[in-house]
Structure 1
């Protein structure tokens, strides 16, 4: 839809362009931003013109995913994890081609499938600070509640770094290691928004299982962690807390079995 309050648009080409005037907001894919009125937004600053590579190898064998990387690009990576996790999103392939990984994470919706995916992978968020510096934090600490992140004013998500220790599967056709993973998701309707998303990854030291969709913030379960300890079950039109808890608990067991060679 048109944003009738917007009177200015800037294309960022370096970090100095990210200083925002009152009323300005950064935009990448813009699929949510343009979906409803944005009162108070008078200008947009485009991040996609910064020229960040969508995907970059890391020295430890891991993978850097730019915040501006289209979700469709992640979906096309070798291995079953990427498309299965991405399909937890209620969006068409056309939207996946425009919507960005960083946008999905920073929206911080419980149903944000990129949150569950990169939390399970143990990814680190790389954040640019207004003073020209950089800080990092685990993705599970970046999203702190529904539509709430730990980003301070003026901070911009630069990338998500997946460690090599989470990519322990076979080498794919692109020469990268693939994750050993399992995914389960459920919704109240056949094509409804995910009310539960459980993503598990085998790492060099054990397993990591993320629970999102069902919870107000991402929860990471490591070997031996009991899902009964989760205390932030979400309640909205896409599922009651007791249903979410029951389904998520069952899915956690299934994912762990799949990762350790038990009955999936």
Structure 2
């Protein structure tokens, strides 16, 4: 879609004064998908030269905001971590066209803050931390599960830029389980849950996305039984936090959340102990 209110395309390497009507341009798959009458300038990040995915000296994985879904998928397939299959599972949750697959970025998916954003699901479940850059040069680090605070609502200040998401090495070695539900065979996720078992102390974490307006993570120092998990979900997710749109009613999303959570618990706790 043409954005006929945009009058200027700026190179992000040449910083100017951020002003109302500006927007960061990564892959542009969302920006060009619908009218953006509030925009006057696009600040293009494509020439920043950020390495899409890199391993830090500490073994953590840094994913640049400009990393495309195709690049992340390829990296995940080649990796040897315990949690590597989760990357492809979340990338495939897009059910995107070839064009979207090669243009959409990890940063764009997080900054849209949509409940069904699978990059939110992936990075929240693996304890990802967002690195945010302000125009003043200030750097903030915010956990992904706190970065997205509601449906389309993010902890992102005017002019602030998501630079990267870092996944800790310990989380990459977690044993994981993935469950997704949609109303249609090729539909948007109505519920996407990920379970993870810590490789050292066996802590069990369940991350609920898509069915809720924000990522919800429940952690158990001792692997829970079915009753404990159900109780944690009852008290951990308020009724008004279940998302309501054409892709699923809150009651259905809640039902699928409880059902998929129990499947994950059985896979990571009961079946693993056999």
TM-score w.r.t. length of structure 1: 0.90
Local SS of the residue matching 2:267? helix
Match of 1:97 in 2: 102
- Structure 1, unmatched stretches of 5+, are 169-178
CA distance in 1, matches of 2:185, 2:88: 18
Equivalent of 2:204 in 203, 207, 226: 207
Cα shift at 1:18: 6.2
- Residue 237 of structure 1 corresponds to which residue in structure 2? 246
Q: Deviations over 1:231-264 (max 9, x none)?
A: 111111111111111111111121222223528x
Contact (CA 8 Å) 1:72, 1:93: kept in 2 or not? no
Q: Which residue of 2 aligns with 1:189?
A: 184
Deviation for aligned residue 1:165: 1.0
Match of 1:5 in 2: 5
Matched, 1:144 2:149: yes
Could you tell me which runs of 5 or more consecutive residues in structure 2 were left unpaired when the two chains were aligned: 78-83
Cα separation, 1, equivalents of 2:46 and 2:123: 21
* TM-score, normalised via structure 2 length: 0.87
Deviation at 1:26, TM superposition (A): 0.8
Q: Considering only aligned residues, what root-mean-square deviation do their CA atoms show, in Å?
A: 1.6
Task: Determine which structure has the larger helix proportion and give its number.
Answer: 2
- The offset of 1:24, in angstroms, is 1.7
SS state at 1:135 partner: strand
Where do 4+ consecutive residues of structure 1 move more than 3 Å? none
> Contact 1:85/1:199 (CA < 8 Å) preserved in 2?
no
Does the aligned pair in 1 maintain the 2:90–2:122 contact within 8 Å?
yes
Instruction: Write the mapping of 1:1-264 to structure 2, written as runs, cut at 5 A.
Output: 1-13=1-13, 17=15, 19-76=17-74, 77-78=76-77, 79-168=84-173, 179-203=174-198, 204-205=200-201, 206-223=203-220, 224=224, 226-229=232-235, 230-231=237-238, 232-260=241-269, 262=271
